[in-house]
Structure 1
């Protein structure tokens, strides 16, 4: 995907929003498929700095809906993930693996994402 200036700009655009950076970072560190629920919990922990038990059901649902309707489809459109809606499973693709060096550089520049593991 990143072979031209336009492709690099696309990658930067994908990483502009913190929830997408968190999704990309946790997929990169875990190197496995994760559920939307796992990703929601990870975003709550790392973006909101709030224990899971203290987050409202409404706020958790909002993050989950944004993942489902906005963030995951954007990553899927660029062939970075495959999303099985029925199983609510997000899986990194071979294209995702090829972009690891560029993604790592962007993710490493975000101090909020250290250390990042799925919950």
Structure 2
């Protein structure tokens, strides 16, 4: 298994760092597995990054637009409405429920508003 030399990312080093971090905690393996599975999807990671970047409630359409920008590397004006709609549908039906269920986000369906959950 190789990693891209131009990315500067060392998968083995990252994995060992995570394992070292886990050694210092008493985390059930089921929790570790569920967390890694949750973070395995790039769109979910981008969703969480957007929410962390802004740190405040955002409408789901605004989140979808920002996720689409980050996925494509395009500007907002270059995105098609169809692309943003597809991201919105994916977030709404798949990723948002998972992130709400794990208490990472809150969702007000009436206002279509997503909020980060404060972790103490």
TM-score relative to the length of structure 2? 0.70
Structure-2 separation of matches of 1:51 and 1:31 = 21
CA contact (8 A) 2:50 2:67 kept: no
Structure-2 separation of matches of 1:74 and 1:81 = 9
**Where do 5+ consecutive residues of structure 2 fail to align?**
1-25
* Structure with larger RCO (C-alpha < 8 A, sep 6+): 1
The alignment covers a number of residue pairs equal to 95
Structure-1 separation of matches of 2:60 and 2:36 = 23
Deviant stretches of 4+, over 6 Å: none
Q: Which of 21, 36, 39 is 1:15 aligned to?
A: 39
**Deviation string, structure 1 residues 5-28 (Cα, Å, up to 9, x no partner):** 211211111111111101111222
CA RMSD between the two structures: 1.7
Bigger Rg, which one: 2
TM-score relative to the length of structure 1? 0.71
